[in-house]
Amino acid sequence: MHPLVHRVITGDKRALARALTLIENDEAERRALLEGFYPYSGRAMVVGMTGSPGAGKSTLVDQVIALVRSKGLSVGVVAVDPSSPFTGGALLGDRVRMLRHSTDAGVYIRSVGSRGSLGGLGQATRDMLYALEAYGCDVILLETVGVGQSELDVMTVADTVVLVLTPGAGDAIQTAKAGIMEIADVFVVNKSELPGADALVRELQLMLHDKRSFREDWKNPIIRTNAVHGDGIADLWLAVEQHHRHMEEGGHLLARRRQRHREEALRLVEAAFARYLSERAEQDADWRRALLDNLADNPYQTAEKILEDLPWIRLRSGNDSVL
Amino acid sequence: MHPLVHRVITGDKRALARALTLIENDEAERRALLEGFYPYSGRAMVVGMTGSPGAGKSTLVDQVIALVRSKGLSVGVVAVDPSSPFTGGALLGDRVRMLRHSTDAGVYIRSVGSRGSLGGLGQATRDMLYALEAYGCDVILLETVGVGQSELDVMTVADTVVLVLTPGAGDAIQTAKAGIMEIADVFVVNKSELPGADALVRELQLMLHDKRSFREDWKNPIIRTNAVHGDGIADLWLAVEQHHRHMEEGGHLLARRRQRHREEALRLVEAAFARYLSERAEQDADWRRALLDNLADNPYQTAEKILEDLPWIRLRSGNDSVL
């Protein structure tokens, strides 16, 4: 058992900070930590909050922290900023506001940059949740900026995904293209005092009306908020709680967690295979000749030759080639 | 042989457009096309042009097209925009300017969005180069927006990487963090009439002076341009040609191409393994029990159990575990 595990479980905040840094950057330590934290997982409510830059997510997260704390629940926040290089755990820009909670023992806030995270941003963030759950967080808020593939990857671990939109700026249409509309469970129209808020709500209603099927039989609510004034935060949290109950009662939460477990295990096996492959490509003289020196073969031909040396890779469908 | 291959090789522009679309989206057709195009590869000069949005890359590319054409060389352009969803080959925003070349039979311009590209943006873009080379392009310009991981991946196929910076906006410092500084062969200070251009040039000179070793023994030139007025374009192209000659003479070009060939083949083998793995995970009842139903195991334990069933994955270093 990694020595930090016991300290994190017993609520040592500095040990948690250290563990998160190791999980982000140190492959050797990560495994021991995750194995220690794993038995404590599956207890927290994980809420993802995403949307375009400027939508007011950080202010909203700040308000949600206050609300969750007022219910006596502890909260962990992971704020992901893929556009930024290493943050080393520092908070960026707007998120500094959240620091007012940092003296509260029931709140832990962590910022994650994209570059240099071991296994990529999605993997690092997912693994950090295990630490926060073991630390005892009742609620984990996962904030991401933007709508790229990294954000979609990150959101696969959330029990509930909240998409924050604002009036104007063609937000709804832009994000719809990016695929986040499909995975959002709760829609928020923030800055709802701005002109265009009604139009955005109607646009969302129409879009939802046209939806043929709802993921996990959940009808997405649309919540109006004004994060700066704290309006609508209670409604938002109620919608999140309702979604969570819906997921639990329908067995969907367990299904999502099984899916996550399966994918994490398969990614580890794939990574082990990739290491085996590149190590053998370095060391195997026959492979080097076929791989490196033979530009006359196209990459498919080269891959075929390698696969002939790895005859256990055969799909059951009985194709001659697995490429 | 795929029927489009012959048409592309004989200079049929519509066949090229169709082939590029298939390469981007259709796995079954992609392989046949690439195998047909592969023998014609390795002839074009591939120049990557990258930098932050607003640096003036598209205008610069437009000017370079004109210069290259004036030398009687044919040119293909792949403009990558990872922040944008499907473009379906349409040109975006600033790049519309380039359309003035579209009636020139010696120019082919293609825009690539990020989402939905088969095998990811990097793979789709790399594979498109094979088609453009087979079509007979003497020069291929690869334009990317931004400085994320996708751009770095894309740039691994370029013989020469041009990084376009502008005065002000902390450009130099920002991109330095993103790792593109390390792979840039030629630096361009565009909009060099703006205040701050001298400071940026000095900043770059200092940074290069501090560099302990230069990749492939190449001392990176810094070129001032004003793309809108066409100033410095000839100098830029001269620097690109000098770099290309340096790479050829030192054997570096062959080394980069071998590296690319090797990586493409290994990625194909990894993809074949990933397919084998998920198909077996679907079909193997024992695996399903271990993978899906057993949340009591952490993902590492699950991965270990799978690897016990795949005993051929053993690193030669003799570790007990390959995870």
Q: Across residues A13-33, what is the average pLDDT?
A: 90
What is the predicted pLDDT for the residue at A322? Answer: 52
pLDDT at A92 over 60: no
> B65 to chain A nearest CA, in Å?
30
Amino acid type, B143: E
- Res A119 pLDDT > 80: no
Mean pLDDT, to the nearest integer, of A183-191?
93
More confident position, B268 or A46: A46
Mean pLDDT, to the nearest integer, of B188-217? Answer: 86
Helix (H, G, I), strand (E, B) or coil at A189: strand
Q: Is A214 on the interface with B (CB under 8 A)?
A: no
Where does B42-250 sit in CATH, by number? 3.40.50.300
- Cβ contact (<8 Å) for B258 and A295? yes
Interface membership of B317 toward A (CB under 8 Å): yes
For residue A49, pLDDT over 90 is answered with yes
Mean pLDDT of chain B: 84
Question: Given this model, what pLDDT does residue A97 score?
Answer: 65
The confidence score (pLDDT) of residue A60 equals 94
Burial tier of B140 (Cβ tally within 10 Å: 0-12, 13-18, 19+): buried
Closest CA to A147 of A14, A243, A51, A237: A51
Give how far B154 is from chain A: nearest CA, Å.
16
B220 against B173, higher pLDDT: B220
- Contact status of A88 with chain B (Cβ, < 8 Å): no
- With 0-12 / 13-18 / 19 or more C-beta atoms within 10 angstroms meaning exposed / middle / buried, residue A51 is buried
Rounded Cα distance between B36 and A63, Å, is 59
B285 close contact with A: CB closer than 8 A: no
The predicted structure's pLDDT at residue B120 = 64
Residues in B closer than 8 angstroms to A179, CB to CB, are 115
Cβ pair A131, A8 in contact under 8 A: yes
Percent of chain B with pLDDT over 90: 42
Find out whether A246 and A160 touch, Cβ atoms under 8 Å.
no
To the nearest whole angstrom, how far is the Cα of B92 from the nearest Cα of chain A?
15
Is the pLDDT score of A153 beyond 80?
A: no
Q: Tell me, yes or no, if A318 comes closer than 8 A to chain B by beta carbon.
A: no
Q: Is A107 helix (H, G, I), strand (E, B) or coil?
A: strand
Nearest to A68 by CA among A36, A44, A103, A95: A44
Mean pLDDT value of segment A22-42: 89
Give the type of residue at A156: T
- A176 versus A62: which is more confidently predicted? A62
Backbone CA torsion sign across B254, B260, B265, B269: positive
Using the beta-carbon criterion (under 8 Å), do A291 and B262 form an inter-chain contact? yes
Between B263 and A54, the higher pLDDT residue: B263
* DSSP secondary structure code for residue A93 in this structure: G
What's the full length of chain A, in residues? Answer: 323
A269 chain-B contacts, CB cut-off 8 A: 277, 303, 306-307, 310
Which of B266, B279, B293, B315 would you mutate first to test chain A, the one with the most A CBs within 10 A? B266
Q: What residues in A contact B175, CB-CB < 8 Å?
A: none
Inter-chain residue contact B277 with A266, CB threshold 8 Å: yes
As given in the structure block, the two tokens for residue A56 are 């007011």
Look at residue A294 in the predicted model and tell me its pLDDT. 87
Rg (CA), chain B: 22
What number is the average pLDDT over the span A193-213?
86
Indicate the average pLDDT of chain A: 84
In this complex, is the C-beta atom of B219 within 8 Å of any C-beta atom belonging to chain A? no
- pLDDT exceeds cutoff 50 at A86: no
A281 contacts B322? CB cut-off 8 A? no
- Which chain A residues are closer than 8 Å to B269 by Cβ? 277, 303, 306-307, 310
Mean of pLDDT values over A58-67: 94
Q: Return residues 249-268 of A near B (CB < 8 Å).
A: 257-258, 261-262, 264-266, 268
The per-residue pLDDT for A54 is 77
H-run or E-run covering A161:
strand A160-165
Model confidence pLDDT, tens digit, residues B155-181: 888 999 999 998 876 555 555 555 677
pTM here is: 0.76
Q: pLDDT by residue (tens digit) across A217-257?
A: 899 999 999 999 999 999 999 999 999 999 999 999 988 88
Q: What integer is the mean pLDDT of B98-117? A: 76
Q: What is the 3-state secondary structure (H, E, C) of B286-319?
A: HHHHHHCCCCCCCHHHHHHHHHHCCCCCCCCCCC
Distance to chain B for A91, nearest Cα, Å: 18
pLDDT band of residue B93 (cuts 50, 70, 90) is low
Going by pLDDT thresholds of 50, 70 and 90, the confidence category of residue A117 is low
The domains of chain A are located at 40-250
- What pLDDT score does B118 carry? 58
Nearest chain A residue to B269, by CA: A303
pLDDT grade, residue B87 (50/70/90)?
very low
Q: Give how far Cα A172 sits from Cα of A180, A236, B32, B257, Å.
A: 10, 18, 40, 43
DSSP letter for each residue of A202-259: HHHHHHHHH-S--GGG----EEE-BTTTTBTHHHHHHHHHHHHHHHHHTTHHHHHHHH
> What is the pLDDT averaged over residues B183-188?
92
| Yes or no, beta carbons of A316 and B292 under 8 Å apart | no
- Asked if A177 reaches chain B (Cβ–Cβ under 8 Å), the answer is yes
Distance separating alpha carbons of residues B61 and B141, to the nearest angstrom: 8
pLDDT score of A77 more than 90: yes
Asked if B156 has any chain A CB less than 8 Å from its own CB, the reply is: no
Nearest-CA residue of chain A relative to B274?
Answer: A270
Highest mean pLDDT pick, A22-26, A119-123, B92-96? A22-26
Interchain pair B277, A257: CB under 8 A: no
Task: Specify whether the CB–CB gap between A228 and A57 falls below 8 A.
Answer: no
Q: Touching check for B182 and chain A: CB below 8 Å?
A: no
Residue B114's pLDDT band, with cuts at 50, 70 and 90, is low
Kindly tell me if the per-residue pLDDT of B10 is higher than 80.
yes
User: What fold, for A40-250?
Assistant: Rossmann fold (3.40.50)
Residue B66 has pLDDT above 80, yes or no: yes
Q: What are A299-309's pLDDT values in tens digits?
A: 889 988 888 88
Handedness of CA A155, A158, A159, A165 (dihedral sign): negative
Chain A contact present for B92, CB below 8 A: no
Return the pLDDT at A257: 87
Look at residue B318 in the predicted model and tell me its pLDDT: 44
* Residue pairs between chains A and B whose CB atoms are closer than 8 Å: 163
CA distance A35 to chain B (A): 6
Residues B160, B185 contacting (CB under 8 angstroms) = yes
Residue A115 touches partner B, C-beta closer than 8 Å: yes
Q: Which two tokens stand for residue B25?
A: 């989206």
Give the pLDDT confidence score for residue B129 in this predicted structure: 93
Cβ(A244)–Cβ(A139) under 8 Å? Answer: no
**Nearest Cα residue in chain B from A149:** B115
- The pLDDT of residue B115 is 54
Contact B114 A258 (CB under 8 A): no
CB–CB contact B269 A307 (8 Å): yes
Question: What totals of helices (H) and strands (E) does chain B contain, helices first?
Answer: 13, 7
